[in-house]
Amino acid sequence: MSEQARVRKVAARDVPPNRRRGGDIRVVLGPRTAGASTGFMGVLTLRPGEYVSEHYHPYSEEFLYVVSGAVVVRAEDEFVVLEAGEGVVVPIGMRHRVTGTGAAGASVVFHLCPLAPSPELGHVDTEQPPNPEETGPVVGGPG
């Protein structure tokens, strides 16, 4: 069996968080963590009022599904309120920002596909990230 065909189990707790753009972002299943070749999936945890800064993905659609709590997704000039059990698709190239609402914060599953040609091409910031000094794993394409 090839390395590519192997089933891989990954725990979110074992993935280092990326907090640079806000929240606690962990790519659980992706090229680096599980050898994925077409996209990646992860979890985002937001405290009340915390946000992921505005950005867009020039190569990927982003699927967001709220597991617990609630968020507001600002996609371009549209505001979409999502509560637990609801999801949204953000089209390729659309600027968006995700903000935790309510008293409990939120837990969100995200999935992006297809992958960008390289990680640094997968995500374009359109506002200053809240934690620019923090470093963490790149959230994006293969490699």
Report d(CA 21, CA 32) in Å as an integer. Answer: 20
Structural domain for 41, as ranges: 17-104+117-125
Three-state SS across 105-116?
EEEEEEEEECCC
Report d(CA 43, CA 89) in Å as an integer. Answer: 15
Q: Is residue 66 part of a domain?
A: yes
Average pLDDT over residues 7-14: 94
Report d(CA 22, CA 3) in Å as an integer. Answer: 34
CB atoms within 10 A of CB 11: 9
Q: Is residue 138 part of a domain?
A: no
Please state the pTM of the whole predicted model.
0.89
pLDDT tier at 132, thresholds 50, 70, 90? confident
Q: Is residue 7 part of a domain?
A: no
Contact between residue 91 and residue 113 where contact means Cβ atoms under 8 Å apart? no
Residue 102: the pLDDT is 75
Q: Is residue 37 part of a domain?
A: yes
Q: Is residue 44 part of a domain?
A: yes
Average pLDDT over residues 111-120: 93
Report d(CA 84, CA 137) in Å as an integer. Answer: 27
CATH of the domain at 61: 2.60.120.10
Q: Given a cut of 90, is residue 137 above it in pLDDT?
A: no
The predicted-structure confidence for 54-108, as pLDDT tens digits, reads as follows 999 999 999 999 999 999 999 999 999 999 999 999 999 999 999 999 788 999 9
Q: How many domains does the chain have?
A: 1
Q: Is residue 136 part of a domain?
A: no
Give percent above pLDDT 70 in the chain.
90
Residue 1: the pLDDT is 46
Q: Is residue 57 part of a domain?
A: yes
Q: Is residue 130 part of a domain?
A: no
